Amino acid sequence: MTTFSRLFALFTLSFLMASCSESSESNKQSGDKIEPASQLVSGKVELTAEAIKDLLEAKLQGIEITSVEASPKEGFYQAFYGGQILYISVDGQFLFTGNLLGLSGDSPVNHTEAATIAKAAELAPARAATIAAIKEDDMVIFKAEKEEYAITVFTDVDCAYCRKLHKEVPQLNAKGITVRYLAFPRAGVGSSAYDKLVSVWCADDKAMAMNNAKLKRQFIPKSCTNPVASQYQLTREFGLSGTPALILPDGELISGYVPFEELYKHLKNKTELNAASGK
């Protein structure tokens, strides 16, 4: 390299450094700064968990995100909704669903399943306490003669699997399982499903009205002061997305229909495990 070439290179480097310094100073003076909802990490914008929640609810209208946490996959958050998980990049540009499997060990680890179970266990005590505070007068109850367990079911009379579960209420009662219904009009307050549930809750005999609604598809329009709207709001707070949604005595959430024999076996196993652990 000639002397002239060396001098030219030094001049060019000095010019670039000065330009960068002036640009940085100019940004400071103009007040440009990263928004509080994000930060610059390794040259990329990383949104906060709250910003990710707002973004998802805006882009995927109709879902309610209950929480957003760091995921096992670097560069992605895991967002919980209705007992399910979405994975979204920290910059909010990419999203995927499904099971996230870890392959670093001897056998695959299902991180999605593990996170779902952990979150359900975390929320169970609060769910149990909330359900315990609801008056039984605000429920539609099918009581077992020799009650061993009481499950609470959020239901919609238009739901096929809700009707399937209801057909098994006599078998559940025979197993010592009391079924307590709360209202979950999936189409929302003011919908046809809402009106049907109101007619059940306002009936003189709520159990008979529920039987007629689910087994015979018969509804007698009726109105009164009722808890249907508040119970629907509770499904939003619990992050429920489908019916039937079963809440067990300890607050465990089971989403969807479960055959009565499997449900009884599950309840019995939980009781035995709790007894063995001294709970």
Q: Which of 127, 158, 162, 163 is catalytic?
A: 162
Spatial distance between the Cα atoms of 74 and 155, rounded to a whole number of angstroms? 39
| Active-site entry in 127, 163, 180, 186 | 186
Give yes or no: 127 in active site: no
Q: Is 205 a catalytic residue?
A: no
Active site residue 186: yes
Given 127, 159, 163, 180, the catalytic residue: 159
Q: Which of 127, 156, 158, 180 is catalytic?
A: 156
162 labelled catalytic = yes
Contact 56, 48 (CB under 8 A): no
Known catalytic residues are 156, 159, 162, 186
